[in-house]
Structure 1
Amino acid sequence: MTDQAIIKTGGKQYRVAVGDKLRIEKLTADVGANVDFAEVLFVGAGADARIGTPLVEGAKVNAVVRSHGRGKKLIVYKFRRRKNYRRKNGHRQPYTEVEITGISA
């Protein structure tokens, strides 16, 4: 089993391993830039796993920004019956796609 980690970014938690590509909440980094995630909640695998309380001391996950984009369109529709009230909105959530390059404890 490869080294794994659980990181926290954008208010969400992700389980990652080296080589994984994932979409996270938008970061301000440029495409091709290196990003470090210092909020590591869990690192390791098997007997040498370390669980943070709440964070693992000195652990960090390195990643490279691959692209920025916007998710698929979601329709937000508000409706009140018998009140002649209707509101229709669209929403596309921005994201950043990163590739995990290293996990260090």
Structure 2
Amino acid sequence: MYAVIKTGGKQYRVVEGQTLKVETVAGEIGHAIVLDKVLMVGNGDTVSVGQPLLAGATVNATIVSNGRGEKIRIFKMRRRKHYQKHQGHRQNFTEIRIDRISA
């Protein structure tokens, strides 16, 4: 069984037991969270698609860790104008483990 969920402005295809990194979710490590923005649930040949969300479908997950991603380096330059700009960014994330998918 798999589901397509929406969290942090992005969509993810998840299965039970999978761990994935999503945008920061409020909560402590080890706490259970419920993701209720389920767009689609598939089980073998049976697929249920919401318009846009499936009513009553939820995905239960557990927060595994919080962290920061790798540094992204941004470099801007205008040739012949003596303009150079260096910038860096590290995005925060929350790693979650999918425990149960209920349709």
TM-score, normalising length: structure 1: 0.94
Q: For this pair of structures, how many residues does the alignment match?
A: 103
Residue 102 of structure 1 corresponds to: 100
Residue 15 of structure 1 corresponds to: 13
Unpaired segments ≥5 residues, structure 1: none
Residue 62 of structure 2 corresponds to residue 64 of structure 1: yes
Separation (CA, whole Å) in 1 of partners of 2:72 and 2:15:
30
Give me the CA root mean square deviation: 0.9
1:16-31 correspondence to structure 2 within 5 Å: 16-31=14-29
Residue 33 of structure 2 corresponds to: 35
Percent sequence identity is: 48
TM-score, normalising length: structure 2: 0.95
Superposition deviation, residue 46 in structure 1: 2.7
Unpaired segments ≥5 residues, structure 2: none
Separation (CA, whole Å) in 2 of partners of 1:46 and 1:57:
20
Separation (CA, whole Å) in 2 of partners of 1:66 and 1:21:
8
What amino acid does structure 1 have at the position aligned with 2:38?
V
Superposition deviation, residue 39 in structure 1: 0.6
Stretch moving more, 57-66 or 82-91: 82-91
